[in-house]
Amino acid sequence: MYANPSISVLKTASVIDNGDGLTDAGDLIQYTITVENTGNVDLSELTITDTLTDGAGQALTLTNGPFFSGADLGSGLGILKVGETASYIAYYTISSAAASTGSIHNSAEAKAKSPGSIAFDVIETSDNGFIIVGEIGNCENEPTPCNGTSEDHDVDPILFKISSTYELIWSKTYGQDKYDIYSSIVEKDNFFYLTGYSTSYSGDYYDVIVSKVDYDGNEIWTKKFGGSGCAGAYCGDRGYKIEIFNNNLIIFGDYASQDSGLTAAYYFIIDDDGNLINEYLLDSGGSEFLFDVSRSDNGNIIATGTSKVNGGWEPWIIAFDENLNILFSECYGDANTTADGGFKVLTIENDIYMLSSYIGDQPGPRMNKLDSEGQLLWSKKYEGNWPKDFIYHDNEIYILNLVNLGPSNNSLSIIKTDLNGDVIWNKHFSFLGGGAYDVEMIVNNNKIIVAGTICLLYTSDAADEGLGVDLGGR
């Protein structure tokens, strides 16, 4: 089933007269606010924002409150179980100035967080449908609140199989009793292979996990890979990307176990049964992470991530030939001031496009174009705060990112550029309600399909959602 978080808010007012029999200055208004959890998941961090104005639109201040007065299923402050209603009370003593305007207006808004499901990847399947990969917090055996983010909680991978007409066929959860997530998926020979990371095996630190799942979502096997212990202050190994390689599977991620210096880039090859064929560590003495991979027309593998080999975090590209020999390994940016990391990579013919994030005096998403030998051709900055994904279609590039338009006013934007990085159009989708935490997109039937985790303002803040946008941005 879908996680479907929602709440409803009801507010009533009653006047306690000051003894003169009139509703006027000196009377006390008691406001009762009830918030009901009308969804199918428990909520936490419930807060009430109360807005009070007079008849002229001037802001007023409550005399007291809102105060939490109890919940009908016994939850404490800030917690709301499925079907539970919490009550709050606030008071306002009418002033002479407010009374002279003839009316008092009051509204209440509620925000809460759900365990939710967070989307990490989406692919088009061989039956013209889709698979969305995400995680969901399982609160059944957890202390309240369970928000689906702590490594101590039971967080499970979840898959959604969607038809070609965008209808849900099935959804299934996986994992064990601690923190398990999938971050990437690939289809091969009518099976799905996934990679991610888990604390369910070692208990305290992440292990890379790889799972094989059939077309009906049945788990065939799950195996763990990586080392044990810690590398200095860093602990655990993670898988971020899985790809088909020479009829086997190759997984890219990072490695922070006892036989590495700090965090090392990590990649390994397995067969269809999960048997390890070979594994590799790139340990420069700094720290490196590999997040995304693409294949060029000449068969080279291009991986991007972030590296601290020069002292500060920089966007990083490493290129391999078809035998996994390293062709080049380069960082792009100023490690002292501006660079953060490379998060996504595309290869168009043999050119390389990297989507990265910069901090410092010019924050926001950047797209870098490199030639096949790793030489930087150009670097261009775009509106936004955090890059999410980009795709290539019909000689154009579509960049998906999160834009902060002000307090509580985030938005998704899609930027269409030509192959020189020049903007053709930039469109916002603020109606989605505050942007997205993790989003991926693909092109299907001349539509951009966005799968992600949408922030629902004033209700609850995590639910898997889908968005279809045509190639004109509509």
Residue 460 confidence (pLDDT): 27
pLDDT beyond 90 at 367: yes
Tens-digit pLDDT profile for residues 420-431: 999 999 988 754
Q: Average model confidence (pLDDT) for the chain?
A: 81
Residue 147 confidence (pLDDT): 39
pLDDT beyond 70 at 299: yes
Residue 339 confidence (pLDDT): 53
Query: Between residues 131 and 362, which one has the greater pLDDT?
Result: 131
3-state class (DSSP) for residue 431: helix
pLDDT beyond 50 at 440: yes
pLDDT confidence band for 465 (50 / 70 / 90): very low
Angle at 464 between CA 408 and CA 164, to 5 degrees: 135
C-alpha torsion 466→467→471→474, nearest 10? 170
- Check residue 432 and report its DSSP letter: G
Query: Between residues 363 and 3, which one has the greater pLDDT?
Result: 363
Tell me if 410 sits within 8 A of 401, measured CB to CB: no
Hey, which residues does 40 pair with through a beta bridge?
A: none
Residue 86 confidence (pLDDT): 92
Query: Between residues 195 and 414, which one has the greater pLDDT?
Result: 195
Residue 378 confidence (pLDDT): 94
Tell me if 94 sits within 8 A of 26, measured CB to CB: yes
pLDDT beyond 60 at 311: yes
Cβ neighbours around 227 below 10 Å, total: 22
pLDDT beyond 70 at 273: yes
Q: Is the pTM of this model over 0.75?
A: no
Residues 6+ apart with CB under 8 A from 152: 178, 179
Query: Between residues 158 and 465, which one has the greater pLDDT?
Result: 158
Q: Give, in order, the Cα–Cα distances in Å from 360 to each of 289, 313, 335, 340, 357.
A: 21, 12, 11, 9, 10
Greatest mean pLDDT among 58-67, 357-366, 436-445 lies in 58-67
SS3 percent helix, strand, coil of the chain, rounded to 5, is 0, 60, 40
Residue 373 confidence (pLDDT): 94
End-to-end CA distance of the chain: 29
Question: How is residue 255 written in tokens?
Answer: 């490695």
pLDDT confidence band for 471 (50 / 70 / 90): low
Residue 89 confidence (pLDDT): 92
pLDDT beyond 70 at 58: yes
pLDDT beyond 70 at 359: no
Tens-digit pLDDT profile for residues 318-348: 999 999 999 999 988 765 555 567 889 999 9
pLDDT beyond 50 at 140: no
Q: Give, in order, the Cα–Cα distances in Å from 461 to each of 49, 111, 112, 222, 430.
A: 16, 8, 7, 30, 15
Residue 468 confidence (pLDDT): 53
Angle at 435 between CA 457 and CA 85, to 5 degrees: 20
pLDDT beyond 80 at 361: no
Which position has the token pair 């998704």? 412
Residue 421 confidence (pLDDT): 96
In angstroms, the CA 347 to CA 328 distance is 15
Average pLDDT over residues 272-279: 96
Average pLDDT over residues 150-158: 68
- Residue ranges with strand state E in 382-458: 386-393, 396-404, 410-417, 423-429, 436-444, 447-454
pLDDT confidence band for 139 (50 / 70 / 90): very low
Average pLDDT over residues 208-236: 88
Residue 241 confidence (pLDDT): 93
